[in-house]
Amino acid sequence: MISEASYLAVKTLSAIYILTCAVHRFLPDPAARQLGPLTPYLLPWVAFALVPVFLYTGNKHFWLRSNRVYKTKPGNVYPHRDPILGVDWMISASKGLKAYNLLETWDDLFASIGNSFWHLAFGKWILLTNEPENLKVLLSTQFESWPIGGVRQTTTVITLGPHAIFSVNGKEWQQGRALIKPSFVRNQVADLECQDRHVERFIQKIPRDGSSVDLQKLLYLMTMDSATDFMFGYSTEMLLNPTKETSEFTQAFDHALYVSASRARLGWISYLIPDKKLDHSVRTCQRFIDRYVAKASADEKLKERPYLFLHELLQSGASMEHIRDQLLAIIIGGRDTSASTLSALFWTLARRPDIVKKIQDEIASLDGQKPTWEDLKSFKYVNMALKETLRLWAPVVTNMRCAAKDTVLPKGGGADGQSPLFVPKGTAVRWSLHSLHRRKDIFGEDAHEFRPERWETLRTSWEYLPFSGGPRTCIGQQFALTQMAYVVVRVFQTFETVEPKDERPMLHTLSTTTSLLNGCHVSFKAS
Q: Which residues sit at the interface with ligand HEM, rule CB under 6 A? A: 165-166, 177, 180, 227, 231, 329-330, 333-334, 337-338, 341, 390, 395-396, 399, 466-468, 472, 474-476, 479-480
420 within 8 A of 70, measured Cβ to Cβ: yes
**DSSP state, residue 506:** P
Q: Taking each helix axis from N to C terminus, what angle separates 4-26 and 44-69, rounded to the nearest 10 degrees?
A: 150
Closest separation in Å from C-beta 226 to ligand HEM:
9
Closest separation in Å from C-beta 477 to ligand HEM:
6
Strand partners, 76: 117
Nearer to ligand HEM, 324 or 472 (CB): 472
Strand partners, 129: 116, 431
Nearer to ligand HEM, 177 or 305 (CB): 177
Closest separation in Å from C-beta 466 to ligand HEM:
5
- The residue whose Cβ lies closest to ligand HEM is 476
Half-sphere exposure of 339 (CA within 13 A, CB side): 28
Summarize the chain as % helix, strand, coil (round to 5). Answer: 60, 10, 30
Nearer to ligand HEM, 61 or 265 (CB): 265
Nearer to ligand HEM, 228 or 262 (CB): 228
Q: Name the helix (H) or strand (E) containing 512.
A: none
**DSSP state, residue 332:** I
Which among 224, 141, 87, 186 has a CA at the least distance from the CA of 408? Answer: 141
Closest separation in Å from C-beta 108 to ligand HEM:
24
Burial (Cβ within 10 Å: 0-12, 13-18, ≥19) of residue 414:
middle
Residue partners of 36: CB distance under 8 A and separation at least 6? none
Half-sphere exposure of 413 (CA within 13 A, CB side): 19
Closest separation in Å from C-beta 68 to ligand HEM:
34
- 94 three-state secondary structure: helix
315 within 8 A of 288, measured Cβ to Cβ: no
Nearer to ligand HEM, 52 or 471 (CB): 471
Closest separation in Å from C-beta 231 to ligand HEM:
6
Alpha-carbon distances, residue 130 vs 203, 213, 243, 370 (angstroms): 39, 37, 43, 41
324 within 8 A of 354, measured Cβ to Cβ: no
Residues 261, 283: Cα–Cα separation, whole Å: 18
Q: Is 474 annotated as a binding residue?
A: yes
Burial (Cβ within 10 Å: 0-12, 13-18, ≥19) of residue 318:
middle
Closest separation in Å from C-beta 122 to ligand HEM:
23
Closest separation in Å from C-beta 472 to ligand HEM:
4
Nearer to ligand HEM, 114 or 333 (CB): 333
Closest separation in Å from C-beta 99 to ligand HEM:
25
- 77 three-state secondary structure: strand
- 526 three-state secondary structure: strand
- Residue ranges for the binding site? 474
- Residue ranges for the binding site for heme? 474
